[in-house]
Structure 1
């Protein structure tokens, strides 16, 4: 089988046992460093992708992708929901009434955002039913003044299902006895836990009860919450929907309320990726020192090849092949090990926790109690391409230096 001369000799140099064992050791270290750098980069980015996925599914599964709000209370929300569902980009719609205030119990006070919802409609746009620790969304009934609170709120007040809480609205009622804040007693109908700050800042009541608190007519709502097929298209889709709807409406989307959180995660992933890329770069450029020493060790061989008619380009190709083989083997090994580690890191960490009898991610501190991982193949391709590219660049200077070797100078003392 025909093989070009630089490729043949370069592979032969790679396989051959060198007289200088230190050069062999440096070559091995370069290869292992590149393997470790690629492995760590794939693993860390996969874990960050996993945290990003968990935040996206949990937080954005609870907060609206987008809302269509009326400047005045909406009387017929079903007609508005049907008009929104006619757009293929909208998966589901549900009415809501939003109230801000404070919950109190036995002298403890906590700020809260209360959403008035219709249980059967809310289940189609929210993941809350999948994260109920006590009670159910169906426990909210019109006129019974039940409330579903987060696990952190329940723990703060020391309450459970069936206990009573007082909701204080930021309004005052004028009575003959003076000015008093508006209060309403609610019975805890359920407790949810989805993680992050939502467990301490969000509560749900029935939309009918919310309308009574705001002194609206029965059936009136503030707006309609929509669930989109592509949540990252929320700003554009919400604007398109509002411009096509008859009547006066305005739109809001999740990028205004939680966009900073996901922008911060994306920036962290980028910065950590760049820092880890430096590890790969250091390992790749160790190839330079390896090849420089190989070139020094092989000066006599280079001189003989030149006297036999090898061109400087041929000599340069030989050492580029040798350095590239180190880069390819290191990158491929790191890629395989990194993919295996990323696919199994959750199980490995869980096994280590069981062996040590401790929990690295406590649900009391973090919003999840396990280490998530999501392998994105585009990241793997990018990391491997970067490793191979830097390995190839690292071969250029030593190979060029080898091609500049003068045969007479190299053989003068041999």
Structure 2
């Protein structure tokens, strides 16, 4: 497509000579702008993907892909009494890894001078082992001690804030208590901490506690029932299809099925919108750099008017002139895109080390887990996104060269020499 003559002339034009330094400086800034735009866009997309996937993995790891509840009544969801039989039947269904009965309720957590709201999860030791996001940080002794009516497992952040450890006491206060002649008296009970988990998610570490199912049944006065059954599947992306099939299979059980897309739809929808907006905003950086390519090429065409006229009189076609300046502009875009891609990929591969280094250098917390939910900076490099960014940058750079190149090809050699 490009001949040796055209490549030679374009290469000479890209070299700054005396009197042409300003045009070269603009081209260099255009290259830097494209490189920074491409690199920043790759990093931001990787961080957003990592944030979404890591957060989704931790949320589903604790709450499951699908939750099964009893039908709603005026006092809340109807407890599920035959939960052991139901969970065993559901675990045999294709695509389901585990079906864990659970009891859930809000409480006030109190230990010494520390008081905070929290969420209680009642589970068996076997069910808790299946929650890898929690069980991976617990030792075998914690599961052996997790039994009886007065044992509890708490999160690491809660333990640090309240000064608790193995063997410490923590009090749970339920808002709904027994009705007496003196009014409604909240239920209060102390439990012994037998384990401390670290889910890697600040919100769970600070507010979730786990009780054995018999202890939770007694505390929430649920007799032989549970709140629901938590289901984990092999393919969370197709959870709606599995949910519909399960609902049809157990339609005689008077159950409600709620998958993760329904319970967290607003949250992950907001993350997706934020990702799209960030992509659009950072694309403007590349667009601005592309406009710099246009300005530098227009100035180059203006400076090379005499050269263009001479080349035309020597027999160079308009197409050859256009290709020369296309190569001049495209080389800036391609080089900038290549450099930006390398910078972005290397940054993503070492982003956590870079964050820790900057934290040590500045002495500030650049990724507060209380704000960002997670306790580290995730980055998932999706090569499809990288290719998308690279193609977009190349296309914008190429489009930026069309008008100046066309303008150069339309230069009249007679007028060009006359003006000189």
Supply the distance in 2 between the matched residues of 1:373 and 1:127 (Cα, whole angstroms): 19
What are the within-5 Å matches in structure 2 for residues 199-278 of structure 1? 199-218=205-224, 220-245=225-250, 246-278=252-284
What are the within-5 Å matches in structure 2 for residues 367-406 of structure 1? 367-406=373-412
> How high is the TM-score relative to the length of structure 2?
0.86
What are the within-5 Å matches in structure 2 for residues 86-235 of structure 1? 86-106=92-112, 109-132=115-138, 136-141=142-147, 143-174=148-179, 180-194=185-199, 195-218=201-224, 220-235=225-240
What are the within-5 Å matches in structure 2 for residues 222-371 of structure 1? 222-245=227-250, 246-354=252-360, 359-361=365-367, 367-371=373-377
Supply the distance in 2 between the matched residues of 1:254 and 1:138 (Cα, whole angstroms): 31
**Counterparts in 2 of 1:270 and 1:177: CA distance versus 1, 3 Å:** closer
Offset, 1:210? 1.9
**Counterparts in 2 of 1:377 and 1:10: CA distance versus 1, 3 Å:** farther
- Single out whichever of 7-16 and 96-105 deviates more from structure 2: 7-16
- Single out whichever of 191-200 and 12-21 deviates more from structure 2: 12-21
Deviation string 1:113-155 (CA, Å, 9 cap, x unpaired) is 21110121232234111245997344321x3321222334334
Offset, 1:365? 6.5
CA contact (8 A) 1:102 1:169 kept: yes
SS of the equivalent of 2:171 reads strand
Supply the distance in 1 between the matched residues of 2:355 and 2:183 (Cα, whole angstroms): 61
User: When the two structures are aligned, how many residues end up with a matched partner?
Assistant: 411
Moved segments of 4+, more than 6 Å: none
Offset, 1:40? 1.9
CA RMSD of aligned residues (A): 2.9
CA contact (8 A) 1:68 1:242 kept: no
**Counterparts in 2 of 1:17 and 1:66: CA distance versus 1, 3 Å:** same
**Counterparts in 2 of 1:344 and 1:177: CA distance versus 1, 3 Å:** closer
Supply the distance in 2 between the matched residues of 1:338 and 1:14 (Cα, whole angstroms): 30
**Counterparts in 2 of 1:369 and 1:166: CA distance versus 1, 3 Å:** closer
Supply the distance in 1 between the matched residues of 2:358 and 2:204 (Cα, whole angstroms): 30
Supply the distance in 2 between the matched residues of 1:167 and 1:294 (Cα, whole angstroms): 75
Structure 1's unaligned 5+ residue stretches are none
Offset, 1:323? 0.9
Offset, 1:388? 0.5
Structure 2's unaligned 5+ residue stretches are 72-77
Offset, 1:364? 6.9
1:12 aligns with 2:14: no
> How high is the TM-score relative to the length of structure 1?
0.88
**Counterparts in 2 of 1:175 and 1:274: CA distance versus 1, 3 Å:** closer
Supply the distance in 2 between the matched residues of 1:349 and 1:102 (Cα, whole angstroms): 36
- Single out whichever of 123-132 and 396-405 deviates more from structure 2: 123-132
Offset, 1:332? 1.0
CA contact (8 A) 1:10 1:321 kept: no
